[in-house]
Chains A and B, each alone.
Chain A
């Protein structure tokens, strides 16, 4: 398998979140970027070849809400729509990548452990993460590598920054070495290169050591 190491063109597909912080760092590390808010990547040209697709689809509003008070319309918007968007991106990926390359999904780390008031968002994120695993299994036959990075929730959903119990309980102030955008970009860069070939369907938790894989 040969990745398009020379062209280094990436697509960032994002809905419900702002990934400009990440885009700047990926550009700085040599990636030519196409940004899209269309989950099916329909507006992305393949003329120069695409090597990497980064996707992150979150609800337009992730305001904490109790499940009992949640309308069916809100559930559809918060839990179901982001998953559908991820499905659309993953369906489009093989054609855009011309059968080889890397796909990296991003999601907020809180969903790994759960947070009160965010059950619908957590459903969306864990559904997306599991879809990435299932997709990675189907793609094992080919040359597309698909993985997932769980990043600090505040990086993707800054409005939730003050929410209690968003991270792991710690006595006193939590000690976290929260990675900056450069570190997350470097991780994506690695997943798109040789290091990524060792992985498939994995979740890397890049939250500064808050939650750790059991």
Chain B
């Protein structure tokens, strides 16, 4: 469908092994994008690609580790080689322990480095690798996931909050750096159902009750239904004049700005 929002655009997405990543990849493909799915292991991503292709979309699976410079570079290069270019890069990958509560005093340098290497430096790696191809088409989109906790500084896991906040500083400056090349840089901050949030709230039931009441719409967002369409729009021409922003997609949870 030529009138699809992302018709024939090429998108590379990291972290597609998560529920949100899977939902985004499916939504991008449904919107007409040709998608490269980057994941550390097969299985989920292979099944996801099969599903997209069965539905009439185009998808390839690339083994890639966001914590490895060369691996990220290869994933982007393979995407460009396979599809003939790159229009959209989406960083979703996050460290699996990002939802684990931590006292500040218990944070080791090693844990800080490990989580930061995925969540923050991983975003830098993807941006650096994707830039030449995004610049080439004059309408590039760079999108990364952050969190309301990167805005409000949640005390549960200070590493997570800090890295998500750091992403905001990175994205704002990157938007100004890449604006002359026609590339937009935006973040989205979802309140999304995920394996991690489900596990967290199953462990801390009181936290869920409190959190649920803080969301005007009274629930976490479904990745495919509530979150992905907004990110698709962000990647499309509809949001072509929006850059350097953090877009909360959270049912109204964070409204301080």
Would you call A37 an interface residue if the criterion is a C-beta within 8 Å of the partner chain's C-beta atoms?
no
Would you call B177 an interface residue if the criterion is a C-beta within 8 Å of the partner chain's C-beta atoms?
yes
Contact with B along A145-156 (1 / 0, CB 8 A): 000000000000
Chain B residues closer than 8 Å to A137, beta-carbon distance: 153-155
Contacts A80-B116, A126-B168, A134-B153 given; does A118 touch B161 at CB 8 Å? no
Would you call B131 an interface residue if the criterion is a C-beta within 8 Å of the partner chain's C-beta atoms?
yes
Q: How far is the CA of A18 from the CA of B169 in the complex (A)?
A: 23
What is the interface size of chain A, counting residues whose CB is below 8 A from a CB of the partner?
Answer: 47
Q: Are B158 and A114 in contact (CB under 8 A)?
A: no
* Residue from the set B104, B120, B151 with the largest chain A CB neighbour count within 10 Å: B104
Chain B residues closer than 8 Å to A125, beta-carbon distance: 169
Q: Are B153 and A123 in contact (CB under 8 A)?
A: no
Contact with B along A67-99 (1 / 0, CB 8 A): 110101001100110011001101100100000
Q: How far is the CA of A135 from the CA of B160 in the complex (A)?
A: 12
Q: Which residue of B lies closest to A127 (CB)?
A: B166
Query: Of A111, A113, A131, which is within 8 A of B158 by CB?
Result: A131
Query: Of B127, B161, B175, which is within 8 A of A131 by CB?
Result: B161
Could you tell me the distance in whole angstroms from the C-beta of A138 to the nearest C-beta in chain B? 4
Contact with A along B90-127 (1 / 0, CB 8 A): 00000000000001110101001100100011001101
Would you call B170 an interface residue if the criterion is a C-beta within 8 Å of the partner chain's C-beta atoms?
yes
Q: Are A94 and B161 in contact (CB under 8 A)?
A: no
What is the interface size of chain B, counting residues whose CB is below 8 A from a CB of the partner?
Answer: 46
Q: How far is the CA of A138 from the CA of B154 in the complex (A)?
A: 9
Q: Are B172 and A122 in contact (CB under 8 A)?
A: yes
Q: Are A127 and B163 in contact (CB under 8 A)?
A: yes
Would you call B152 an interface residue if the criterion is a C-beta within 8 Å of the partner chain's C-beta atoms?
yes
Would you call B247 an interface residue if the criterion is a C-beta within 8 Å of the partner chain's C-beta atoms?
no
Could you tell me the distance in whole angstroms from the C-beta of B171 to the nearest C-beta in chain A? 8
Would you call A133 an interface residue if the criterion is a C-beta within 8 Å of the partner chain's C-beta atoms?
yes
Q: Are A126 and B169 in contact (CB under 8 A)?
A: yes
Chain B residues closer than 8 Å to A140, beta-carbon distance: 155
Q: How far is the CA of A124 from the CA of B107 in the complex (A)?
A: 18
Would you call B128 an interface residue if the criterion is a C-beta within 8 Å of the partner chain's C-beta atoms?
yes
Query: Of A80, A90, A114, A138, which is within 8 A of B169 by CB?
Result: A114
Q: How far is the CA of A88 from the CA of B162 in the complex (A)?
A: 14
Chain B residues closer than 8 Å to A120, beta-carbon distance: 124, 170
Would you call A172 an interface residue if the criterion is a C-beta within 8 Å of the partner chain's C-beta atoms?
no
Q: Are A75 and B173 in contact (CB under 8 A)?
A: no
Would you call A66 an interface residue if the criterion is a C-beta within 8 Å of the partner chain's C-beta atoms?
yes
Tell me whether chain B's interface is mostly helix, strand or loop, or mixed.
helix
Q: How far is the CA of A142 from the CA of B35 in the complex (A)?
A: 49
Would you call B164 an interface residue if the criterion is a C-beta within 8 Å of the partner chain's C-beta atoms?
yes
Chain B residues closer than 8 Å to A94, beta-carbon distance: 105
Could you tell me the distance in whole angstroms from the C-beta of B128 to the nearest C-beta in chain A? 6
Would you call A136 an interface residue if the criterion is a C-beta within 8 Å of the partner chain's C-beta atoms?
yes
Would you call B10 an interface residue if the criterion is a C-beta within 8 Å of the partner chain's C-beta atoms?
no
Chain A residues closer than 8 Å to B172, beta-carbon distance: 111, 113-114, 122, 126
Could you tell me the distance in whole angstroms from the C-beta of B22 to the nearest C-beta in chain A? 28
Interface residues of B in 137-190 (CB under 8 A from A): 149-155, 157-158, 161-177, 179
Would you call A199 an interface residue if the criterion is a C-beta within 8 Å of the partner chain's C-beta atoms?
no
Q: How far is the CA of A5 from the CA of B178 in the complex (A)?
A: 49
Q: How far is the CA of A130 from the CA of B116 in the complex (A)?
A: 14
Would you call B132 an interface residue if the criterion is a C-beta within 8 Å of the partner chain's C-beta atoms?
yes
Q: Are A138 and B155 in contact (CB under 8 A)?
A: yes
Q: Are B124 and A75 in contact (CB under 8 A)?
A: yes
Q: Are B170 and A123 in contact (CB under 8 A)?
A: yes
Interface residues of B (CB under 8 A from A): 69, 103-105, 107, 109, 112-113, 116, 120-121, 124-125, 127-128, 131-132, 149-155, 157-158, 161-177, 179, 244, 257
20 extra interchain contacts, Cβ-Cβ under 8 A, other than A87-B112, A114-B175? A72-B121, A80-B120, A84-B113, A90-B104, A91-B105, A91-B107, A114-B169, A114-B173, A114-B176, A115-B173, A121-B173, A123-B124, A123-B170, A124-B169, A126-B172, A131-B158, A131-B165, A134-B154, A134-B162, A136-B153
Q: Which 7 pairs of residues, A with B, have the shortest CB-CB distance?
A: A133-B153, A130-B165, A126-B169, A114-B172, A127-B166, A137-B155, A122-B169
